[in-house]
Structure 1
């Protein structure tokens, strides 16, 4: 679910990403990778 949100934000380039948005994106990516490594 989170990865879909990330994809939407990245694809929607008209919307300027704030620093907080970028941090949230990186955090979600880190979390997803951690989950994949655990599996």
Structure 2
């Protein structure tokens, strides 16, 4: 039972890290898009 808890805990942590990574990539993509628009406007 402890092993199951540890396994699920590790799985949850992995999922959270992946989610945070995805959010960071989305934020970076949005920033890059803003930079391109600024370059085109100048």
Category of TM-score, reference length = shorter chain = 0.5 to 0.7
Q: How many residues align?
A: 23
| Structure 2 alignment gaps of length 5 or more | 25-42
* Structure in which a larger fraction of residues adopt helix: 2
Q: Which of structures 1 and 2 has the bigger CA Rg?
A: 2
| Structure 1 alignment gaps of length 5 or more | 1-16
Of structures 1 and 2, the one with the larger relative CO (CA 8 A, separation 6+) is 1
Q: Give runs of ≥4 in structure 1 deviating > 3 Å.
A: none
